[in-house]
């Protein structure tokens, strides 16, 4: 610059000498004019956490003194064009802001240090957000990077083991939603699923989303944090935030993977000769007991051998996902657009799922104090369903071929084995297709009023439609496996949920005080409509002929249903922070729902929370153990309005035998009669959850160690529970009313460690949950609730009563196996009145179960049933390790649960010569002294009764996910206009260790009283895939 000034100071002399042109050529050649000094350069780099070396996505990068900027991608990388003399500002919640001069450089790598205040991170809460340090409730966030690379159809499936207190039970069926329970099971008759809130819209599931659609998922676990959603928050709240643009610079990214799935822990059954041996043993025992003759089956008569599982399962099934997104903005707007395709072949032949997602969002500052925006997610899916074929594949004799020839299925009905359905034929003739659309959209306007007020109004809609077509063709496989009706069934259902929320928020800081207050009103409407119809006689000439109009009109059958539920809510929240030491949160919600009687529709749901940041006290300043330590406690009430519809509405039957005739001859008048067919409770109140929570949370060892220890006491009061009617009530069965209290209490522990050694970065995270479930109280006179009805024999296998977990297994206790006739004759009871000895099990035979005479009356009957365990786990465990070294990264997830049991019902459901599993064959009773643990092959009669032998351990340890990735060095890809490229290989569920005799210890059931019963469980699969992430 000094040289330039000297040149221009002598400009007049230059003009006089006639050398002005030569002077300017010299200036340009030297590159010293101001324009050259401010030339544009493209700066790229990566931002990491200084304490542990982890990359930081979402870091804001802004040119100082301007509004021009960008943000880092999921790998922490950024790229921006700036003047060579500019200064870049790097900022991120929870981190210290850094200002770095560019100084003409094209590569700048940054390490951000944690800010002095540990929890500056902003967390999404109901109808707003808050700094983590200010939280007084139990809230946990799972970030996008923990979900994005897992090959799952439903993002909720990837949450297993990620959060303390959250149980995720997956099914192997493609497109299925997992069963999620937050802090245990607290209801019998109402929905036990959590509430999902996607971008402010309340919904029941997130099956329409892909993992790449999501920015983060936040769990509101305690009643204090979830009470703001009072009407539907009794089972916890899961808030999903989809991806939004953080930068005004246009960006394109692609994420995709392809791979395959295969059955893991394949369940082995008895083979041909083994099966014949078992059938002969059973028939011999039955013949000896009845005094009849017995002719054994000759294995030579059945030379074929088959594994029916192999006939219905694919050896490998393909899965793939592709996602592309575009993000960017202008000076006052930010936009996002994305599209994805997901495909998954099921493990069962012909079982396929296909989904396309389109998403978009826009936020724009249309005026100085007015912001508007929208978000939209559209999902379409196609689904080819299969029948519940696994039970038939288990019981079918393994001594037949699937087909007699290429076009004829084996009838399997000849000989002395009895009639069985051919599983391969069952699968072949099943024809069911579904498709649907799901749309979630919302729009908002936010106006800043005065200095500290913000008014926001938003409207959201959740629309879904589903169509199903099922066709049964003409077929004759055997006398019992036959259908000649050619029946076509069609069904359509539609749902439209609307939400209109309005909030006014006040936020201010004055001196040592920080205050936030919010008040709002919400109106909600839920509509459902369904239609169904069927006709027989429909010929199949292709899809164009499969319509009801081509069927026999005389066989028509149709039906419809519908519902409309409305809700109105008034709510408010106030938070107070004094000197970052003392914290308070209070919420109040007044909810009304049309599902309740008119005099009980509104109720109040309050909550309070307190926090004490102990490390900000003077007496903690000289200690060196804790970098941050907070004690928090909370109490709150939430409600559950997802109860069975119209349970307080009387129903009647009329006409027919209820009518009567008056008069004689030709003057007879028929008077239609009616009768009440149901009973309803005299009143019905809200099912509520009252929860107390206390916890310590903090950081230590230079912010490397994070911890949280939580105790909760979660009591469901006025639980809706069946009341059995007496025989004189005029109707049968039961009705529902508020007569039960259910308790879940437990401890949650979360630990994390992050550190680095040179270029090696590593982190370890683990969580542990202990939960005890108990029916605390039933109103006087209320009988226990039987459940878990089994199809063969109609036995109930669970019982819900005070002092036991919900849906506990209930049956006879096996104390051994009768070894011989003397053993049976010596198992006696002495009548105290007559001194007579009585055989306790007079009808038993050697090899049968020996049951405990619990009530000591010499008779084995229903009064001898005892509680045999619960399907609810008492502990959950999750672990994650992440390692990174110079572009190579490795991660592993482990999940475990225990304390729960499984009812192996497929072993007990027997009518004749069903097959057995290999474990039973190898360990069965074969004669005196062979075993005192396994029965003989005769599992009929009293041996079928629910008992302790059918109850097996349900605990397991699973390697949930293993992933290895490599990020190509930036200098190798920037020349191609690419910011970053990462390749990875991944496997999900490769190993599961368990003792249960079945495909999987995960038995997904949404019914609280029929959990853990294995009759037809879909196998779990291991997934192996290769993926790539590219950012432009």
Domains, the chain, in order of start with CATH, read 2-112 (2.60.40.1120), 814-864 (no CATH)
Take residue 63 and report the two structure tokens written for it. 């040119």
Upper half-sphere CA count for residue 296 (Cβ side, 13 Å): 13
Q: For residue 114, what is the DSSP state?
A: B
Take residue 174 and report the two structure tokens written for it. 């493609």
Q: For residue 917, what is the DSSP state?
A: B
Task: Report whether 324 contacts 263 (CB < 8 A).
Answer: no
Parallel/antiparallel/unpaired status of strands 77-83 and 69-71: unpaired
Q: How many residues does the chain have?
A: 1032
Among 395, 397, 403, 400, which Cα is nearest to 277's?
397
CA distances from 260 to 277, 321, 344, 385, 1022 (A): 38, 12, 9, 19, 8
Task: Report whether 54 contacts 884 (CB < 8 A).
Answer: yes
Burial of 653 (0-12, 13-18, 19+ CB in 10 A): middle
pTM summary value: 0.85
Three-state secondary structure readout of 533-583: EEECCCCCCCHHHCCHHHCCHHHCEEEEEEEEEEEEEEEEEEEEEECCCEE
- Residue 120: the pLDDT is 63
Mean pLDDT by 10 residues, the chain (1032 residues): 40 42 38 50 88 77 83 84 91 80 91 64 81 86 81 87 94 87 90 89 88 89 89 88 82 93 92 95 92 91 93 94 92 91 93 94 91 95 92 93 93 81 95 95 94 94 96 93 95 95 94 94 94 95 92 94 92 94 95 86 93 93 91 93 72 72 74 74 83 95 93 93 65 75 97 92 96 93 87 90 96 97 95 92 96 95 96 96 93 96 92 92 96 95 95 96 93 85 94 93 88 89 93 88
H/E run at residue 593: strand 582-593
């Amino acid at each position: 610059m000094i040289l330039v000034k000297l040149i221009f100071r002598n400009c007049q002399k230059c003009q006089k000498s006639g050398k002005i042109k030569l002077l300017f050529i010299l200036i340009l050649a030297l590159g010293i004019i101001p324009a050259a000094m401010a030339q544009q350069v493209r700066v790229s780099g990566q931002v990491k956490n200084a304490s542990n070396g982890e990359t930081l996505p979402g870091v804001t990068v802004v040119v100082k003194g301007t509004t021009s900027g960008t943000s880092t991608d999921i790998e922490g990388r950024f790229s921006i064009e700036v003047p060579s003399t500019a200064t870049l500002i790097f900022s991120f919640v929870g981190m210290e802001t850094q200002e770095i001069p560019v100084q003409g450089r094209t590569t700048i790598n940054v390490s951000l240090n944690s800010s002095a205040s540990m929890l500056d991170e902003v967390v999404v809460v109901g109808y707003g957000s808050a700094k983590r340090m200010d939280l007084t409730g139990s809230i946990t966030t799972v970030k996008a990077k923990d979900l994005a690379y897992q090959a799952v159809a439903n993002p909720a499936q990837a949450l297993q083991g990620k959060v303390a207190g959250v149980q995720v039970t997956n099914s192997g069926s493609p497109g299925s939603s997992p069963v999620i329970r937050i802090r245990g099971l607290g209801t019998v008759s109402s929905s036990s699923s959590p509430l999902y809130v996607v971008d402010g819209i309340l919904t029941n599931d997130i099956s329409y989303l892909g993992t790449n659609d999501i920015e983060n998922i936040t769990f509101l676990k305690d009643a204090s944090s979830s009470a703001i959603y009072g009407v539907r928050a009794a089972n916890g709240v899961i808030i999903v935030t989809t991806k939004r643009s953080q930068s005004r610079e246009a960006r394109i990214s692609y994420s995709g993977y392809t791979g395959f799935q295969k059955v893991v822990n394949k369940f082995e059954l008895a083979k041909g000769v083994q099966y014949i041996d078992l059938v002969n043993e059973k028939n011999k025992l039955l013949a000896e007991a009845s005094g009849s003759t017995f002719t054994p089956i000759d294995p030579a008569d059945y030379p074929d051998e088959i594994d029916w599982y192999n006939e219905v399962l694919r050896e490998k099934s393909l899965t793939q996902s592709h996602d592309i997104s575009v993000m960017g903005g202008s000076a006052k707007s930010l936009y996002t657009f994305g599209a994805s395709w997901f495909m998954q072949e099921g493990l069962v032949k012909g079982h396929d799922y296909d989904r396309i997602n389109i998403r978009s969002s826009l936020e724009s500052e249309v005026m100085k104090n007015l912001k508007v925006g929208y978000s939209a997610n559209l999902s379409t899916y196609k689904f080819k369903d299969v029948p519940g074929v696994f039970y038939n594949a288990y019981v079918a004799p393994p001594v037949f071929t699937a087909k007699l020839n290429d076009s004829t299925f084996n009838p399997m009905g000849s000989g002395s084995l009895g009639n069985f359905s051919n599983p391969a034929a069952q699968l072949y003739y099943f024809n069911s297709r579904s498709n649907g659309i799901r749309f979630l959209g919302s729009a908002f306007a936010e106006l800043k009023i005065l200095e500290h007020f913000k008014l926001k109004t938003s409207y959201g809609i959740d629309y879904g439609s589903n169509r199903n077509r099922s066709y049964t063709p003409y077929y004759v496989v055997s006398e019992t496996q036959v259908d000649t009706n050619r029946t076509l069934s069609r069904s359509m259902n539609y749902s439209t949920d609307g939400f209109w929320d309005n909030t006014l928020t006040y936020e201010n800081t004055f001196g040592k005080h920080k205050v936030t207050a919010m008040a709002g009103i919400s109106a909600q409407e839920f509509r459902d409509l369904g239609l169904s119809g069927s006709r027989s006689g429909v010929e199949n000439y292709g899809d164009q002929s499969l319509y009801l109009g081509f069927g026999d009109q005389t066989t028509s059958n149709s039906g419809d249903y519908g519902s409309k539920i409305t809700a109105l809510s008034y709510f408010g929240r106030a938070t107070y922070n004094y000197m970052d030491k003392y914290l308070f949160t209070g919420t109040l919600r007044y909810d009304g729902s049309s599902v309740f009687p008119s005099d009980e529709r509104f109720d109040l749901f309050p909550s309070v929370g307190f926090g004490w940041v102990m490390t900000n006290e003077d007496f903690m300043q000289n200690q060196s153990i804790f970098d941050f330590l907070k004690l928090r406690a909370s109490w709150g009430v939430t409600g559950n309005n997802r109860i069975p519809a119209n349970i307080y509405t009387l129903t009647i039957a009329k006409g027919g035998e209820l009518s009567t005739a008056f008069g004689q001859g030709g003057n007879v008048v028929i008077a239609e009669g009616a009768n009440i067919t149901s009973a309803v409770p005299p009143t019905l109140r809200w099912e509520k959850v009252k929860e107390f929570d206390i916890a310590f949370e903090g950081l230590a060892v230079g912010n490397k160690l994070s911890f949280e220890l939580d105790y909760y006491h979660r009591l469901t009061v006025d639980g809706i529970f069946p009341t059995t009617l007496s025989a004189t009530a005029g109707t049968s069965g039961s009705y529902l009313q508020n007569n039960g209290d259910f308790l879940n209490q437990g401890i949650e522990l979360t630990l994390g460690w992050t550190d680095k050694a040179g270029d090696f970065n590593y982190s370890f995270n683990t969580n542990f949950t202990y939960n005890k479930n108990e029916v605390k109280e039933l109103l006087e006179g209320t009988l226990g609730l039987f459940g878990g009805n089994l199809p063969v024999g109609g036995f109930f296998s669970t019982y819900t009563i005070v002092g036991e977990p919900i849906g506990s297994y209930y049956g006879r206790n096996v104390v051994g196996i009768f070894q011989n006739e003397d053993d049976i004759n010596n198992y006696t009871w002495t009548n105290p009145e007559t001194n007579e000895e009585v055989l306790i099990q007079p009808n038993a035979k050697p090899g049968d179960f020996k049951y405990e005479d619990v009530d000591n009356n010499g008779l084995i009957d229903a009064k001898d049933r005892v509680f045999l365990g619960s399907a609810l786990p008492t502990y959950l465990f999750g672990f994650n390790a992440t390692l990174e070294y110079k572009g190579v990264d490795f991660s592993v997830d482990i999940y475990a649960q225990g304390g729960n049991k499984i009812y192996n019902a497929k072993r007990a459901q027997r009518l004749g010569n069903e097959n057995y599993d290999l474990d039973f064959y190898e360990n069965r009773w074969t004669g005196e002294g062979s075993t005192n643990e396994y029965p003989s092959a005769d599992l009929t009669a009293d041996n079928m009764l629910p008992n302790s032998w059918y109850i097996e351990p349900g605990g397991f340890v699973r390697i949930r996910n293993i992933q290895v990735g490599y990020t190509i060095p930036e200098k190798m890809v920037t020349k191609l206009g690419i910011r970053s490229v990462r390749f990875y290989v991944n496997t999900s569920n490769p190993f599961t260790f368990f003792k249960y005799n079945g495909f999987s210890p995960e038995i997904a059931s949404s019914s609280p009283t029929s959990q853990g019963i294995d009759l037809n469980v879909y196998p779990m699969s291991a997934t192996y895939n290769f993926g790539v992430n590219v950012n432009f």
